[in-house]
Structure formats: C-alpha cells, structure tokens
Chains A and B, each alone.
Chain A
Amino acid sequence: MDNRGQLLLLSGLLIAMGVALISLYLTTASMSGYRVSYSPWDLPYYEMRMALYESTRAVKLYGDVDEISEFNKNLSKIYAKHGYFLVVSVSNVTGNLYKLNLTFKTDRVELEVNKSVTT
C-alpha cells in the first residue's frame, strides 16, 4: 500500500500540473486573440480614409487646380496639428480628368495613393 500510495500522490500531482498548464495555455490563447483583434485600432484608418475622401471630394467641388491646391495645403496643416504627415498634390491631365497623389505618414504607417479623379 505504501508504494501504491506514493504512486497515487505522484499521479495526482502530475494531473494537477497538467490542468494548470492547460489553463495557462488557454488563457494565453484567449489573451492573444484579444490583442490581435484590437491591434488594428492603433492604426489611423479613419484619418487615412478621410484624407483620401476629402481630397477627392475637393477636386470635384472646386474643379480648379489652384483652389484644390489651396485646400490641400490647409488639409496638410490641419493633419500636421494632429501629428500626421500628409501631402496631397493634384494635376490636371486633360479637361475634367485630374491626377491625385496622396502621401500619408505616421511613425507606424506609410501610405501612398495615386488616383484619377473625374469631375
């Protein structure tokens, strides 16, 4: 009974350690899922999308390179106040076709977009 009793204790301890390891693994797995699902929030998606949306809209609204450039200059100034580097340039290709170039930078992301806009 002495030997059997020791084995019983040992197996009990091993099972307890196994349960502890499994619970630790599951907790880590769920935490990493949580972190992965929230990490995209750190990127300024909204600000990037807005920059492209507003600069495209400005081309259609003004329809004049000087006025569009003036808007883009102000847009860059406002973005700079929020800590973003944004430069938008526009050129008139033909008639109502414009070419838009947008560069957006932060310490974590760099984005360059070339887009054709028809007014």
Chain B
Amino acid sequence: MYGKEGQMYTLEALIAALIIFGVVTFAIAASPQFGTETKEFTSLQLKKYADDILEILDLERVDHKSLLSEWVESGIKNNNFDDTIWDNVKDNLRRNLRIMMHVEVLNPNGIIVYSYGPPPPEGAVSSFRVVPVKNVYHSAYEVRLYLWYV
C-alpha cells in the first residue's frame, strides 16, 4: 500500500467522497424547500399588510376626512360602531391570505372604546393609525389593527 498504489487508493477515496458530496448537495438543492419563511419575514409581511389596510382606509378625501375617520367619528357620536367596514376586510384576508384580524379603537388615554374580531394571540403583528375627528370628546383616536396567520 505504499507508493503508486497507495496514492491511487487515496485519489479514489477522494473522488468517491467528492461524488457523494456532489450528489447530496444536488439532492438538497433540488428538493422542495420547506420553512424558508422565517418568523421575521412573516412579521414584516403582516406589518406591511396592516399598514396598507389602514393607509387605504384613511385616504384623505376632498373634505379632509376619510372613510376611517368618518367611521370613528360616527361610532363615537352614536356610541355604536358599524362593523360592516371590517367584515369585508376580514373575509378577504381570511379567504385569500389565511390571515385573521382584530381591530381596536382607543382614545388618547389608551382606553379601548371599540373592539372587533377574536382576541389576538401572542405574536400577532399590529399597526396603528391616528385619525383626526371633529365634534367629539377627543380630537384624535387610535385605530389599532392586529393581524396573524391562521
């Protein structure tokens, strides 16, 4: 096992190891990847969805109000919030993206004056929007939206 023969064996062993390594690497690369969405990425995605939903609902109209601010104003004035604004959002999120949601309206002191949907689990991602309202007790209310995957 010395000299030429030994070197050939070594070389053979190296080539065999390389072939095995290559096959294993190829197999791993070719197999479907599960669990590539990290927790961080999922949270970022949910935060973006929540930001976008609130931003769209709060788009300023010619009268400087928005669908969201008008909904808050009317809910506070009548002491009764209309749930239908969120029903469509909830259905769409659940059906198309498998996302659940929870909405809260809070006054500037942090007291919840309205709540919609099941309570958010630990790890749910939230976004908030401060809406200016007129002729009610507080001039600003916070709308907080929680999202999480089913």
Contact = CB atoms under 8 A, between A and B. Distances in A.
Interface stretch (A25-33, A66-74, A92-100, A101-109): A66-74
Scoring B106, B108, B130, B131 by chain A CB atoms within 10 A of each residue's CB, the highest score goes to B130
A60 B60 CA distance: 11
Contact of B7 (A2, A54, A58, A81): A2
A16 B18 contact: yes
Nearest to B106: A78
Contact of B140 (A9, A12, A16, A75): A75
B4 A61 contact: no
B134 interface: yes
Contact of A71 (B4, B65, B132, B142): B132
Nearest to B25: A23
Interface string A1-18: 110011011001000100
Size band of the interface chain B makes with A: 20 to 34
Nearest to B43: A41
A54 B4 contact: no
B147 to A, nearest CB: 14
- Specify the main secondary structure of chain B where it touches its partner: mixed
Contacts of B85: none
A70 B141 CA distance: 12
B11 A50 contact: no
Interface in B77-121: 106, 108-110
Given A16-B18, A62-B134, A71-B140, 13 more contacts: A5-B7, A6-B7, A8-B7, A9-B11, A38-B40, A53-B60, A54-B130, A61-B132, A62-B139, A70-B139, A77-B108, A78-B106, A81-B110
Interface of A: 1-2, 5-6, 8-9, 12, 16, 38, 41, 46, 50, 53-54, 57-58, 60-62, 67, 70-71, 74-75, 77-79, 81-82
Interface of B: 3-4, 7-8, 10-11, 14, 18, 40-41, 44, 51, 55, 60, 64-65, 106, 108-110, 127-132, 134, 138-140, 142
